[in-house]
Amino acid sequence: MVNTRRIYELSSGHKMPMIGLGTYLLTDKRSIWKIIDEALSAGYRLIDTAAMYGNEEEIGYALKKLLPKHHLTRQDIFLISKLPPTNHGDDALESLNETIRLLQCEYLDLYLIHWPGSSDCDPKDPNNAILRDKSWSKLVEAKQTGLTRDIGVSNYSIRHLEGLLENSYGEKPVVNQIEWHPHCHQDNMKKFCDENGILIQSYFSFGGSEKKLLLSDPTVLNISEKIGKSAPQILLQWSLQQNVAVIPKSSSRQHLHVNIDLDFVIPKNYMEKLSNLPQIRYGSDPNVVA
């Protein structure tokens, strides 16, 4: 059953589920089918993917077949994908059209710039700023023509966001998808996004490729035991209580159901303990991009 209380109204007025299904590293067609089938059954209504994940075609095929099975339509699902760093600039619209073709849908709900830098440039090259500005102008065009209902960014630092907002072509980003968990959270980023109507959506909620460091953290485990919820549930709820959206990935039927069962509250003192854990970034640092 869908938890309607976990719906967020974006600054555009469109509504987005705060809990979604992440699909990073999911590439096997049969596995994707099973996971999406179970996710739809569990109540997930947001699916996050990206051209770089190499699974858009598999997800599109699964949704085309599975939505009718679950008595759903395209309008019931919130689809997110991302512009790859290889297609910054003039190729951005072509990239979005290819994503829509692979996902077998007429539009996206949200299209993000995946990374502030271009694959064609050194991270310190000032051309990165020129190319992402061009990409944003193309995304604005895509929104105006209905290819995507909303546009946003991923892995943008405050500096990158400030640059975008100075020349946004009349469209502010509604989302910044970034690494966010108790081992890596930027309070100044949260404050900036809140002030500018940008929702933070978290990836690596469980700590990324070295996730055991976070899932086995003594503080996380202690709070998990005291509240009677699993460590993943604690980590997801910690984000949600700060109004940060989450997109956990799981190939386990049990975990898919547990990860969306988050109707509990973490007491303030436990929230503070989690927020004061040592800071460790598991993914790439976007601050190196000019």
Provide the token pair at 177.
């998808």
Provide the token pair at 22.
């992440």
53 is catalytic: yes
DSSP-based three-state secondary structure for 21: strand
Concatenate the DSSP letters of all residues of 148-159 into one string: EEEEEEES--HH
Q: Which positions ≥6 away from 243 have C-beta within 8 Å?
A: 8, 194, 199, 200
At 178, give phi and psi (nearest 5°).
Answer: -140, 165
Catalytic residue among 44, 53, 111, 203: 53
Distance from C-alpha of 117 to C-alpha of 104, rounded to nearest angstrom: 28
The answer to the question of whether 114 is labelled as a binding residue is: yes
Provide the 8-state DSSP code for 203: E
Provide the token pair at 174.
């509604």
Burial class of 242 by CB neighbour count within 10 A (0 to 12, 13 to 18, 19+): middle
152-172: string of b/e by CB count within 10 Å (b at 16+)?
bbbbbbbebbebbeeebeebb
Distance from C-alpha of 127 to C-alpha of 135, rounded to nearest angstrom: 12
List residues forming the annotated binding site for substrate: 114
List residues forming the annotated binding site: 114
Active site residues: 53
